[in-house]
Chain A
Amino acid sequence: MPRIFDYGELKDKDYAGLGFKSGLEIHQQLDTQKKLFCRCPAGQYYEDYDAEVLRHMRPTLSELGEYDGTALMEFKTRKEIIYQLNKKNVCTYEMDDTPPFELNQEALDIALEVTLLLRCNIVGELHIARKQYLDGSIPAGFQRTTILGTDGWIPYRDRRIGIRQLGLEEDACREVSDRGHRRVYKTDRLSIPLIETVTYPDMRAPWEVAEVAEILRELARGTGKVRTGIGRARQDVNVSVEGGTRVEIKGVHRIPYIPRLTHFEALRQANLLELRDELRRRGITKDSLHSIAGDVTAVLDRTAFSPIRRALERGWRVTAVSLAAFKGLLNFPLQPGRDFASEISERVRVIACLDELPNIIHSEMVNSPLTTEEWKRVRGSLRARKDDVIVLVWGDARDVLTAAGEIVIRAGEASEGIPSETRQAFPSGTNGFERILPGPDRMYPDTDMPPVALEDDRIERARGQLPLAPWERREAYRRLGLSNDLVEALSRDGRGGLVLKLAETLPLKLTVPAVVISQTLKHLERNGFPVSRLDDGALTDLFRRFSGGEFAREAFPDILKLAAAEGLSPAESLARLGIFRLADGAVREIAGIVAGLERTLEPRDPVKKFRYLMGILMAELRGKADGRRVAAALEEALGNGQ
């Protein structure tokens, strides 16, 4: 029985029953000036471009005379790959027309910090490797990658999550479009330094995967040296169930999507195993799967089904593939809204490049797009048996040939279980085929670059700069007596550590800096103020002045805005804004004057009158006296006046 449960319906023990196992591969961009293997500026994104280059990718035979599965798949797609170049952020290295330059040392030091935080065993010498990608996302056809450490761990609940490795590598291009046989990429993101954190598949339930992803994200952000924002960190999630295969869901941009994705993938795998079992019961194996393929263009020349009509008008062909004894199985549900036929359709879309959907129809569809007579004629033309399921596909002659092959391949794989694939995430939490999972053997040494020694003193320097790990930080904030909300907010903030430093040096209630750092600065940043100009030294000076009573709490936003916008020091901003602390006597005097206005006001609600007068006072006194002092003085003045 296929299992379709919504996320939230299953509990811990259900996932344990499935044998749910999941691991993460997190790619995080580092905040460096330059790219990893060239001197182009990193982190600049552009929409316009100055030139385009066309390339094709070819797989390299292994010495066993075989092609890696992914490589062969990509080659079958016969894609033209176009790269858009903007001279501001790419050079001839990105175009793969110049050999690599020296490894970016700033990136190496940041990666080393994260490796230490993850408690990995650190290698003595980095060896740069080439990991082949034939989808065109990297112009050279391979990514340069290296690992700094292996076999680390992080604490999680009452156990440990193993960290398989921490790697340093180049980011890939951004896809602009992928239609038919042409794929277009932007090269601005290419070669930005990334760290890749790979965990062991130690997570046992969907929510655990998301929680661990959060912890790892905070850990990296705690260094203050990684890029933040959409797309600057991407999660790949691996899922497997008992009796299944590891499947990778690539490029999950937001951690909250992870639980649903892993839940539905685990069920998809369980359902595929059920499908396999049914096929076995019917005595079907990959080798005994009997299928016939034939051209049925002439048979359907008068069909009313518009996708095929349109194909015929373009001079395309229609092919029918019979899958003996798959009766009742194309509709086998695998995920909500996606059945086995959709798996076939996806293969046809990706590998044969027939991407106008629907790209297949079959004889078991509930609302059949062809008439009974048409199906009969198709079956007759193929000399298929009554029970045989027929799949129809249409397209240009070469593509439809590729498609027919892929239909049979996927059907055969169903009789073996779960094909090893890379899947892409959909917003609903389901997923679709992206490519055949690359074999482990597509990596080999990059002989363009010498090995890089990681000496003890370099490691010690990195160790001396380590921030607190996320669990250590939370503990430290809690000990300062901050509320849970502030503890969470600071833990996610790269500047949060400053609060701990202030705790050591200033006799100050830390709620104020905590709020300023986690809320005020963030707010200003979202409104376009360059708060990155305010370094720890400037902020410490500002808090010291506040602690010394030089200004009131309400002045923070104005001071920070000015300092960020014009690059002023705190002292300069205070002077420019004319902010100084008013003595109590002066406050009372001014409050007394304003209170006198009360007598001229129409009889009104006293609360509204009070607010009105406070408004006048604060407009003048904001920043020079804090609101509570002013309110107390006004109350006193009004009381005296009555």
Chain B
Amino acid sequence: MSDIFKGYRGDALALLKAHGVRVWSDAEVTTTRGAFAGIILPRSETADDKHIVLKLRNGYNVGLTTSTVVGIKEIGYKEAHYKIPEKAFPHDPAKPRVKLLGTGGTIASRLDYRTGAVIPAFTPGELYGSVPELAEICNLETEKLYGVFSENMGPEQWVGTARAIGREIEKGVQGIVIGHGTDTMHHTAAILSFMVQDSPVPIVMVGSQRSSDRPSSDAALNLINATKTAAESDIAEVMVCMFGPTSDQYDLLHRGTRVRKMHSSYRSTFRTIGDVPIAMVSREKIILLRDDYKRRRADRNVTVNTAFEEKVSIVYYYPNMKPDIIESLIDNGYKGIIIAGTGLGHVNKPLYPALRRAHERGIAVYMTVQTLWGYVQMFVYDTGRDIMELGVVPAANMLPEVAYVKLGWALGQSSDPAAVRDIMLRPIAGEITEREPHNGYLILQGGIPEVERFVSSYWK
């Protein structure tokens, strides 16, 4: 039995009840501002209780102020039924088998124009309807693991996803695509790089920056390119596949431990930090940008290690930070702290006693850089040397978020500081690199004439 007053409360709810009408009523409403006719729609939960929403015959929605309403008459009733017709995803025995695991985010959707609802399309049939190009690439199966906004992803979902990946590999899938919200895609990509090792097949994370109900959305192209990568490439690593430029040209395949979301909204937000991406992928081809990647294998072996210790925190240092921040982590039983320090990996003196106390309590403390690019190098200044004396371990060029998930994973395997240190500093999936190439840091500054000339000569 659906809620006939969906979303309405307070004054608005009282108004509907008083006039004997409900959501989906086709109604004529008389108000002090004139007469309106249309279908009463549900009210959004975050909107106030002083208006009712009507979908007019011309397709527009309007709100009518409850205090202006004089009368409402129901002349009909039009309940919404979301019935999505199934089309079967065509099967071609010659094509590779790819599995799409959903964790959240809407990689494809449909619109109910009557109500304005955006309905996720996720089954192979629904995806085939929205993005028919997928059938030219592979035979697709889908499974919805979770349906959360990515800021709500956590160890429970990471573990579940890693195990699902392991199961699919053992069943002989030829590639895996993971639909994920973009906000924490890089966190998940990193932890999966540790929880799922030596995969014989590509594991490609994908999402969309612009919602998939829009004609201009990056969703379809990202999905096509991610699926192509999973089906056809020989890159057997955990990768993020998202737009290169903001133009509809190609996606980039970023190694899962070196990728980060770098802009709150641009399509081109994901970038590899401190190195170059693995490849460019478009509908026509995959262009490798390097050759030091793990290759695809024919076997079905994979190592799944889902250990995770939750009590780890990232501390973003700022001038005048007080030691009580660290103290409270210690007193609350945290087992690991990742510091994002300034410059080469620095914090202020007042924190030192707290850091010493943490070390004495056996808490694992690692240093990364706020600047994101560059190595931690704590010998260069006194500050760094002092901090190392306090037991803080430099984490080379691991990104702060990557170090956070790795420390959680390492502490999940051992509480012995030496063992943990060994795990942290031994690169497993490119999270620490020995060398930073000159083109690992290329932030072009707008406004400079030669930069403007360059940018204007290519599609952005």
Q: Does A56 contact B (CB under 8 A)?
A: yes
Q: Are B456 and A63 in contact (CB under 8 A)?
A: no
Q: Are A127 and B63 in contact (CB under 8 A)?
A: yes
Q: Are B265 and A443 in contact (CB under 8 A)?
A: no
Interfacial chain B residues near A483, Cβ < 8 Å = none
Restricting to B1-58, which residues have a CB under 8 Å from any CB of A?
31, 33-36, 46-48, 50-51, 53, 56, 58
Choice from A95, A127, A140 contacting B60 with Cβ under 8 Å = A127
Q: Does A451 contact B (CB under 8 A)?
A: yes
Q: Are A141 and B62 in contact (CB under 8 A)?
A: no
Total interface residues on B, using CB and 8 Å? 62
A99 to B214, CA, bound (A): 13
Interfacial chain A residues near B324, Cβ < 8 Å = none
Q: Does A96 contact B (CB under 8 A)?
A: yes
A121 to B210, CA, bound (A): 35
Restricting to A57-76, which residues have a CB under 8 Å from any CB of B?
57-65, 71
Q: Which one of A144-152, A258-266, A535-543, A632-640 contacts B?
A: A144-152
Choice from B51, B83, B87, B129 contacting A125 with Cβ under 8 Å = B51
Choice from A54, A127, A141, A145 contacting B459 with Cβ under 8 Å = A54
Choice from A60, A64, A129, A132 contacting B85 with Cβ under 8 Å = A64
| Residue among B46, B82, B266 with the highest chain A CB neighbour number at 10 A | B266
* Contact A63/B111 with A127-B62, A451-B63 known, Cβ cut-off 8 Å: yes
Q: Does A504 contact B (CB under 8 A)?
A: no
Q: Does B103 contact A (CB under 8 A)?
A: no
* Contact A65/B87 with A60-B110, A150-B34 known, Cβ cut-off 8 Å: yes
**Contact code string B193-230 (vs A, CB < 8 Å = 1, else 0):** 00000000000000001101111110011000000000
Interfacial chain B residues near A445, Cβ < 8 Å = 61, 116
* Contact A124/B60 with A140-B214, A453-B65 known, Cβ cut-off 8 Å: no
A78 to B298, CA, bound (A): 38
A140 to B218, CA, bound (A): 11
A63 to B61, CA, bound (A): 19
A49 to B459, CA, bound (A): 12
* Contact A54/B121 with A123-B63, A443-B59 known, Cβ cut-off 8 Å: no
Restricting to B218-261, which residues have a CB under 8 Å from any CB of A?
220-221, 246-249
Q: Are B61 and A132 in contact (CB under 8 A)?
A: no
CB distance from B253 to the nearest CB of A (A): 20
A124 to B212, CA, bound (A): 31
Interfacial chain B residues near A49, Cβ < 8 Å = 456
Choice from B65, B85, B217 contacting A124 with Cβ under 8 Å = B65
| Interface bracket on A | 35 or more
Interfacial chain B residues near A123, Cβ < 8 Å = 33, 36, 62-64
Choice from B84, B212, B217, B459 contacting A53 with Cβ under 8 Å = B459
* Contact A127/B61 with A50-B455, A53-B247, A151-B34 known, Cβ cut-off 8 Å: yes
Q: Does A427 contact B (CB under 8 A)?
A: no
Interfacial chain B residues near A61, Cβ < 8 Å = 110-111, 121, 129-130
Q: Does B322 contact A (CB under 8 A)?
A: no
* Contact A150/B36 with A65-B85, A97-B265, A140-B214 known, Cβ cut-off 8 Å: yes
Interfacial chain A residues near B85, Cβ < 8 Å = 64-65
Interfacial chain B residues near A451, Cβ < 8 Å = 47, 51, 63
A133 to B216, CA, bound (A): 10
Interfacial chain B residues near A64, Cβ < 8 Å = 85
Q: Are A121 and B35 in contact (CB under 8 A)?
A: yes
Q: Does A347 contact B (CB under 8 A)?
A: no
Restricting to B51-81, which residues have a CB under 8 Å from any CB of A?
51, 53, 56, 58-65, 68
* Contact A60/B460 with A55-B247, A445-B61 known, Cβ cut-off 8 Å: no
Interfacial chain B residues near A167, Cβ < 8 Å = 60
Choice from B48, B62, B221, B459 contacting A126 with Cβ under 8 Å = B62
Q: Does A404 contact B (CB under 8 A)?
A: no
Q: Does A164 contact B (CB under 8 A)?
A: yes
CB distance from B7 to the nearest CB of A (A): 13
* Contact A53/B460 with A64-B85, A141-B215 known, Cβ cut-off 8 Å: yes
A147 to B57, CA, bound (A): 13
**Contact code string A30-70 (vs B, CB < 8 Å = 1, else 0):** 00000000000000000001111111111111111100000
Interfacial chain A residues near B248, Cβ < 8 Å = 54-56
Interfacial chain A residues near B114, Cβ < 8 Å = 441
* Contact A62/B456 with A124-B51, A132-B215, A141-B214 known, Cβ cut-off 8 Å: no
Interfacial chain B residues near A52, Cβ < 8 Å = 456, 459-460
Interfacial chain A residues near B212, Cβ < 8 Å = 60
* Contact A121/B33 with A54-B459, A58-B215, A61-B130 known, Cβ cut-off 8 Å: yes
Choice from A51, A56, A120, A140 contacting B455 with Cβ under 8 Å = A51
**Contact code string A416-457 (vs B, CB < 8 Å = 1, else 0):** 000000000000000000000000111111010011010000
Q: Are A60 and B65 in contact (CB under 8 A)?
A: no
**Contact code string B144-171 (vs A, CB < 8 Å = 1, else 0):** 0000000000000000000000000000
Choice from B34, B50, B56, B111 contacting A444 with Cβ under 8 Å = B111
Q: Does B118 contact A (CB under 8 A)?
A: yes
**Contact code string B81-96 (vs A, CB < 8 Å = 1, else 0):** 0111101000000000
Q: Does A238 contact B (CB under 8 A)?
A: no
Q: Does B136 contact A (CB under 8 A)?
A: no
Restricting to A211-246, which residues have a CB under 8 Å from any CB of B?
none
Q: Are B456 and A151 in contact (CB under 8 A)?
A: no
CB distance from A172 to the nearest CB of B (A): 13
Interfacial chain A residues near B116, Cβ < 8 Å = 129, 444-445
Q: Does B346 contact A (CB under 8 A)?
A: no
Closest to A129 in B: B60
* Contact A96/B60 with A50-B455, A62-B110, A451-B47 known, Cβ cut-off 8 Å: no
Closest to B80 in A: A63
| Residue among B83, B112, B460 with the highest chain A CB neighbour number at 10 A | B460
Q: Does B267 contact A (CB under 8 A)?
A: yes
CB distance from B79 to the nearest CB of A (A): 14
A441 to B213, CA, bound (A): 14
Closest to A48 in B: B456
Q: Are B33 and A122 in contact (CB under 8 A)?
A: yes
Q: Are A96 and B213 in contact (CB under 8 A)?
A: no
Choice from B56, B83, B456 contacting A150 with Cβ under 8 Å = B56
Q: Are A63 and B62 in contact (CB under 8 A)?
A: no
Q: Are B456 and A50 in contact (CB under 8 A)?
A: yes
Q: Are A124 and B265 in contact (CB under 8 A)?
A: no
Q: Are B266 and A97 in contact (CB under 8 A)?
A: yes
CB distance from A283 to the nearest CB of B (A): 34
CB distance from A108 to the nearest CB of B (A): 15
Q: Are A125 and B65 in contact (CB under 8 A)?
A: yes
* Contact A96/B216 with A53-B460, A442-B113 known, Cβ cut-off 8 Å: yes
A537 to B420, CA, bound (A): 79
Q: Does B360 contact A (CB under 8 A)?
A: no
CB distance from A24 to the nearest CB of B (A): 15
Q: Does A82 contact B (CB under 8 A)?
A: yes
Q: Does B109 contact A (CB under 8 A)?
A: yes
Since A126-B62, A165-B60, A453-B48 are in contact, a sample of 16 more A-B pairs with Cβ atoms closer than 8 Å, ordered by chain A residue number, is: A49-B456, A54-B249, A58-B217, A63-B113, A97-B246, A120-B34, A124-B31, A124-B62, A124-B64, A125-B51, A139-B216, A145-B60, A151-B35, A444-B112, A447-B118, A453-B51
| Smallest CB-CB A-B distances: 6 pairs | A121-B34, A125-B63, A141-B215, A124-B65, A441-B113, A54-B247
Pairs A–B under 8 Å by Cβ, sample size 19: A50-B452, A59-B215, A60-B111, A63-B84, A82-B459, A97-B265, A98-B264, A121-B36, A124-B33, A124-B62, A124-B64, A125-B65, A127-B63, A140-B215, A150-B56, A440-B59, A443-B59, A444-B118, A445-B61
Q: Interface residues, chain A, CB within 8 Å of chain B?
A: 49-65, 71, 82, 85, 92, 95-99, 120-127, 129-130, 132-134, 139-142, 145-147, 149-151, 164-165, 167, 440-445, 447, 450-451, 453
Q: Interface residues, chain B, CB within 8 Å of chain A?
A: 31, 33-36, 46-48, 50-51, 53, 56, 58-65, 68, 82-85, 87, 109-114, 116-119, 121, 129-130, 209-210, 212-217, 220-221, 246-249, 264-267, 452, 455-456, 459-460
